[in-house]
Copies of this chain bind each other. A is one copy, B any other.
Amino acid sequence: MDKYECLKLKNQLCFPIYLCSKEIIRKYTPFLKKLDLTYTQYIVMMYFWEYNESNVKELGNKLMLDSNTLTPLLKKLEDKGYIERKRSSLDERNLIVKLTSKGEKLRDDAVDIPSSVGKCINLCSEDFVALYSLMYKILGNIREDYNE
């Protein structure tokens, strides 16, 4: 029995998760390119399609990203005309971010993407459900503060 067995790549759980995340994102890329979005920008747009308006803090909680990543990303989305950034007049520390009408319209172009990528991943619904719940179980274990 090799005492280094635990360090072999095939015995890692993190490694295939890391690969899956990257490869799934790679599958999104050609579809997102048509909308002039990167994957992270797409996640942010999904947030706003659902909630319409937010600030950096709230958005960051949901996406587990901080202002160091979000600030430049939101500026890019603003340059593309998909969102609007404005300081709150009630509390100047807060940056209000909201969809523009152009950003809203983009939703119709995105609506087929999940199923297109789903076909590439090609999991039966049992596997989908099992994987989904395992992912949220891990997230719950790692970040007890995270509420879906």
> Which of A39-80 touch B at CB < 8 Å?
39, 43, 46-47, 49-50, 62, 64
Does A90 belong to the interface (CB within 8 Å)? Answer: no
- Chain A residues close to B by CB (< 8 Å): 3-4, 6-25, 27-28, 39, 43, 46-47, 49-50, 62, 64, 107, 110-111, 113-115, 117-118, 120-123, 127-128, 130-132, 134-139, 141-143, 148
A-B contact pairs, 13 of them (CB 8 A): A3-B111, A7-B46, A7-B49, A15-B46, A16-B132, A18-B24, A18-B25, A20-B21, A20-B135, A24-B138, A120-B142, A123-B138, A131-B131
- Residues of B within 8 Å of A47, CB to CB, are 9
Question: With the chains together, A21 CA to B138 CA distance in Å?
Answer: 10
Q: What are the residues of chain B within 8 A of A23 when measuring CB–CB? A: 64, 138-139, 142-143
Instruction: Work out how many copies of this chain go into the complex.
Output: 2
Task: Specify which of A15, A117, A135 lies most central, judged by the most chain B CB atoms within 10 Å of its CB.
Answer: A135
- Distance, CA A118 to CA B7, complexed state (A): 12
Residues of B within 8 A of A15 (CB): 43, 46
| A131: contacting residue among B13, B50, B64, B128, CB under 8 A | B13
CB distance from A129 to the nearest CB of B (A): 10
The 10 nearest A-B residue pairs measured at CB? A16-B135, A21-B21, A122-B141, A6-B114, A131-B134, A23-B142, A14-B24, A18-B21, A17-B21, A20-B135
